Amino acid sequence: MLPSDLLFTKQHEWVRVSGIRATIGITGYAQEQLGDVVFVDLPTVGDKISAGATLATVESVKAVSDIYAPISGEVLSTNDDLEHSPEFVNQDPYGKGWIAVVELSESDQLAGLLSPQDYEPLISK
């Protein structure tokens, strides 16, 4: 069951919006496909990111995968806990496994993201 307060991308990132701030992570489906996460290369606070550009890199026992920014804006904070506990991405992808908080540059960019109801069919195939 997907959290109802999130928006999703077709590349399996999620966004939780609160005002002009957006918390970003990867979905439960994505972390299952990756396997055990062993390292997360986080963005730098203050970085300006563009939607579709690489936000972070996640290394698992299976592969190294880019995590793409679902929205544009400035990185306000990162989940530094992932430096010592990257397994949070597997254990709690929608909670402790978040990657970054970004200040939205434009609120209308959320219109291109998927609701939980629209995302569900992508992962149930």
Tell me the residue range of the domain where 11 lies: 7-107
103 in Cβ contact with 52 (< 8 Å): no
In a domain, 125, yes or no: no
Identity at 100, one-letter amino acid code: A
Residue among 68, 81, 82 at smallest CA distance from 112? 68
pLDDT score at 108: 86
Say which CATH number the domain at 63 has: 2.40.50.100
In a domain, 39, yes or no: yes
In a domain, 2, yes or no: no
In a domain, 118, yes or no: no
pLDDT score at 6: 97
In a domain, 114, yes or no: no
- pLDDT tens digits for 64-110? 999 999 999 999 999 999 999 999 999 999 999 999 999 998 878 89
In a domain, 115, yes or no: no
Number of domains, the chain: 1
pTM of the model: 0.95
In a domain, 84, yes or no: yes
In a domain, 50, yes or no: yes
Alpha-carbon distance of 44 to 23, in angstroms, equals: 15
